[in-house]
Amino acid sequence: PYYLDSLAWLYFERKDYLTALQYADIPSRLEQIPAEIAYHIARIYIALDRYKEAVPFLKAGAAADDDPHYVKECQTLLQQFTP
């Protein structure tokens, strides 16, 4: 699933958000999703104006304990998209 996240992020960077979302499908199903992957998926949903679908990934990334940088990024975005 990690290489699929890398492909999803590559398409995100190229602004091909629908293809990015397709590649993010399998990583999005990880039971213990790493903060970086959660952040990437959330950003893809945000780019597609699908904010409600981004929130669960932002919450998962904010609660992760594996990468302080991406945990912080998820927490920051979560504040913007939740009341």
Task: Please give the mean pLDDT across all residues of the chain.
Answer: 95
In the prediction, which pLDDT does 1 show?
78
CA 4 to chain centre: 12
Sequence-distant (6+) residues with CB within 8 A of 7 are 23
In the prediction, which pLDDT does 82 show?
78
The whole-angstrom separation of Cα 49 and Cα 83 is: 17
The residue-averaged pLDDT of 63-82 equals 94
The pLDDT tens digits of the residues spanning 19-50 come to: 999 999 999 999 899 999 999 999 999 999 99
On the question of pLDDT at 83 being above 80, the answer is: no
Sequence-distant (6+) residues with CB within 8 A of 25 are 4
